[in-house]
Amino acid sequence: MRHQVAGKKLNRNSGNRKALRSTLIKQLFTYEKIKTTRAKAEAIRGEAEKMITVAKNSSKGSDVDKVNARRLVASKLNNADVVKRLFDDIAPRFEERNGGYTRLTKLGSRKGDDAEMVLLELVESGKKK
């Protein structure tokens, strides 16, 4: 039984699962929208939103806090360009927003295996209503 075990396995071993999540989050921050299966989108959505929150909150901290926040996010993403984009472009857009940085839009089923496809995208900047 998997009582109180966080995260979804996605039918992969731990290394492949970690690489998949990292890649999908990098693509989300690079292109600001990705088309993927619902299970994969739900698996990365929370982690991506937490990274945006860390980047957003670091702007209010001291220089040490800013460096620590960048290192924390960089340890999960392993891509300096994506980290720079997250902290310099994406996080400032959500300065007035309290969570809810991503949106899932259902696209229907994939023809080959009938997997439910979704569009995971960053919402526009501004205050959440």
Tens-digit pLDDT profile for residues 35-50: 999 999 999 999 999 9
Distance CA 116, CA 77 (A): 26
Cβ burial of 63 (10 Å; 0-12, 13-18, 19+) is exposed
Closest among 90, 29, 26 to 58, alpha carbons compared:
90
Q: Domains, the chain, ranges and CATH? A: 15-122 (3.90.1030.10)
Grouping H, G, I as helix, E, B as strand and the rest as coil, residue 84 is helix
Q: Which backbone phi and psi does 51 adopt, to 5 degrees?
A: -65, -40
CA within 13 Å, CB half, 40: 24
Q: Which backbone phi and psi does 75 adopt, to 5 degrees?
A: -65, -25
97 close to 128: Cβ distance less than 8 angstroms? yes
Q: How confident is the model at residue 5 (pLDDT cuts 50, 70, 90)?
A: confident
Predicted confidence at residue 128, as pLDDT, reads 55
pLDDT tens-digit map of 82-108: 999 999 999 999 999 999 999 999 999
Distance CA 92, CA 128 (A): 15
Predicted confidence at residue 129, as pLDDT, reads 53
Closest among 93, 82, 101 to 23, alpha carbons compared:
82
pLDDT over 70 percentage in the chain: 96
pTM of the model: 0.89
